[in-house]
Amino acid sequence: MYEILANLDKEKVESWFAANAGDIRPFFYSSVDIRNSGFKIAHVDTNIFPAGFNLLGQKAKERASAEIKKYFDEYFPNCKIVGLISENFSRNEHYWDNITALKHSIEKAGKQVSVGITGEFSSEKELPFAVHSTYKKDGLVYFGETAPCVVIANRDFTSGAPDELVDIKQPVIPPVKMGWYRRKKSKHFQAYEEIPRQFAADFKLDPWLISTFSVNCGKVDFKQKEGLECIAVRTEKLLHKIRRKYDEYGIKEEAYVFVKPNSGTFGMGITTLRSGEEILEINKKLRNKMAFIKDQKANTEVIIQEGLPTIDMVDGKPAEPFVYSIGNNPVGANYRINEKRDRLGNLNSAGMSFQEIDCEALHEFCGTSPIGIISRLAGLAALKESVQLKDVG
C-alpha cells in the first residue's frame, strides 16, 4: 500500500487536499503516529498539542519556521508577540529541549516569544529563557508584564482547562477545549471514517487500506474488574471483522487489537489482545497499569483499535513513523524505535529512541509522501472532530 500511495499523482493529491480543506482555520500544529504494515498504512493516533520539536532535523525546523510564518501571515497578520504555554514539567529535560526548539522556530518566523506555565515554576535544568507563571487580569492572560496577542498551547490539558486560559480575549491555538480532559479518541476515529472513504473513492482504493477499525466501550474500572466483559465481547467482534479483511486479501498475519485509553497520550494504559478472553484473565499488575493515564487520572473508558504490525525496522529494531505538521502541512518526521518491543507492540513506551526521517528523500514533497498523505488525512479528521465538539482553529 505504501508504494501505491507513493505513486499517486502529486498534483492530484494536492488538488484533493485543497478541495477538501474547507474554510475552517487548521490547527496550528499536530503530530500523527502511523503504522505501515506493508499491506496497509494508517494513522493510529493524532496529537493536537505535540512535543518533540527538538527531534526535528535542521531542514525540518526550517520548514516549520516557514510554515509558522505563513500561518501567522494568513490568520494573525498583526500579531508580533506570542505566548507559549508549556506543560508543568519541572524535571523532564527532554521536554524543555522541545520548548527551546519550538520557541526558536517561532522566533525564526519573526515573532517574539514569552514562555509561561499555569502554576509555580521550578526546574533543575538551566534554561536559556525565562519561564513566567501566567496570571489573568482584565480578561487577558499575562506572561510576566506581557499580554501576548496569541497564545500557543504546548500542553495537552489532561487534567482540565486552567483558569488562566478560560474566557480570555486572546485566541489560544490549538483551543484548550481540544485537550484530553474533553477529547475522545473514539470521536476522532469516527470523524475520520468518511475522510479515507472519500479519498479512496477518488483514487480507486479500498478505504480499509488507509484506516483502522475501532470500537469503544462504556465505563470501565480496571481495579475493580468492571466493564471488562464489554471489552471482551467487542474485541471478539472486531477480531472477526479484521480476519474477514485478512481473508479477502490473503493476509497471513494474526489479527490482534490494541486496547488503549479513550483519552490521553504518552502511550500509557495500553495493552494488546489476540482474543476477548485475554482481557478477562489479566493479572493485577496489568490491571493497575491500565487503571491510570497521565497525571494519575483514572482510565475509565477505552477504545479497542485494530492492531497493525509494523514492517519498519531501524537497525533490526521495530519502528513506526510520526509526522509533524504546521497548519496541516507536514514539515518533518521521525521514527519511534523500541528494542524492548516486537513488531506488534506499543512502541511508545520505556526503551524507545528516535531517528529522523528525511521525508524529502521519501518523496519530492513531505506532504505527498505516503506518511504525509496519511498525516494530512488525520489532520482533516481532527478538524471535523473539532466541529463536532464546536471548537475550531
**170 shares its domain with 315:** no
Establish if 196 belongs to a structural domain: no
Q: pLDDT-based confidence at 393, cuts 50/70/90?
A: very low
Judge if 27 and 63 occupy the same domain: no
Query: How confident is the model over 146-163, as pLDDT tens digits?
Result: 999 999 999 999 888 999
DSSP letter for 190, please. Answer: H
Q: Of the given ranges (181-185, 258-262, 361-365), which has the lowest mean pLDDT? A: 361-365
Domain assignment of residue 349, yes or no: yes
**Structure confidence by residue, pLDDT tens digits, 287-318:** 777 776 666 677 778 999 999 999 999 999 99
DSSP 63-126: HHHHHHHHHHHHH-TT--EEEEEEP--SS-HHHHHHHHHHHHHHHHTT-EEEEEESS----SS-
Sequence-separated (6 or more) residues with CB below 8 Å from residue 360: 59, 366
Lowest average pLDDT, out of 79-83, 181-185, 209-213, goes to 181-185
Question: 365-369: which pairs have CB atoms within 8 A and are 24 or more residues apart?
Answer: 365/10, 366/63, 366/323, 366/330, 366/331, 366/332, 366/333, 367/14, 367/17, 367/329, 367/330, 368/8, 368/10, 368/13, 368/14, 369/6, 369/330
Percent of the chain with pLDDT over 70: 93
Number of domains forming the structure of the chain: 2
Residue 340 has pLDDT above 90, yes or no: yes
Confidence class for position 116, pLDDT limits 50, 70, 90? very high
Per-residue b/e over 370-381, b at no fewer than 16 CB within 10 Å?
bbbbbbbbbbbb
- Residue spans of alpha helices (H) in the chain: 2-6, 10-20, 58-75, 93-108, 185-192, 194-203, 228-249, 277-280, 284-290, 359-362, 370-388
For residue 311, the model assigns a pLDDT of 97
Distance between alpha carbon 80 and the CA centroid of its chain, in Å? 28
State which residues form the domain around 158. Answer: 53-178
- Which of the listed residues 140, 161, 178 is the one where a domain comes to its end? 178
CA distance 237 to 229: 13
Between CA 173 and CA 30 the distance in angstroms is 11
Residue 376 has pLDDT above 60, yes or no: yes
- Angle, CA of 205, 329 and 19, to the nearest 5°: 55
pLDDT at 367 over 90: no
pLDDT in tens, 190-204: 999 999 999 999 999
Same domain, 237 and 163: no
Residue 185 inside a domain? The answer is no
Query: Does an H or E element contain 153, and which?
Result: strand 150-154
Same domain, 237 and 355: yes
Region 89-116 average pLDDT: 92
- Tell me, yes or no, whether 291 lies in a domain: yes
Residues 321 and 21: their CA atoms lie apart, in Å, by 24
Identify whether residues 15 and 104 lie together within a single domain.
Answer: no
Which cell numbers in the block locate residue 346? Answer: 506499543
Cα–Cα distance measured from residue 375 to residue 5, given in angstroms and rounded to the nearest whole number: 13
Does 383 lie in the same domain as 239?
yes
Same domain, 39 and 173: no
* pLDDT score of 292: 65
Domain membership flag for residue 112: yes
- Counting Cα atoms < 13 Å in the Cβ hemisphere of 160 gives 6
Same domain, 222 and 158: no
- 184 in any annotated domain: no
Report pLDDT for 270. Answer: 83
Asked whether residue 168 falls in the same domain as residue 268, the answer is: no
| Residue 157 placed within a domain | yes
The span from the CA of 210 to the CA of 200, in Å, is: 8
Same domain, 164 and 310: no
Place 226 in a pLDDT band, splitting at 50, 70 and 90: confident
CATH number at residue 174: 3.40.50.11280
Across the chain, mean pLDDT equals 91
Shared domain check, 267 and 137: no
- Claim to verify: residue 30 and residue 70 sit in the same structural domain: no
Give the per-residue pLDDT at 320: 97
Q: How confident is the model at residue 128 (pLDDT cuts 50, 70, 90)?
A: confident
74 near 178, Cβ under 8 Å?
Answer: no
Cell of 120: 509555580
Percent of the chain whose pLDDT exceeds 90: 73
Domain-located, residue 314: yes
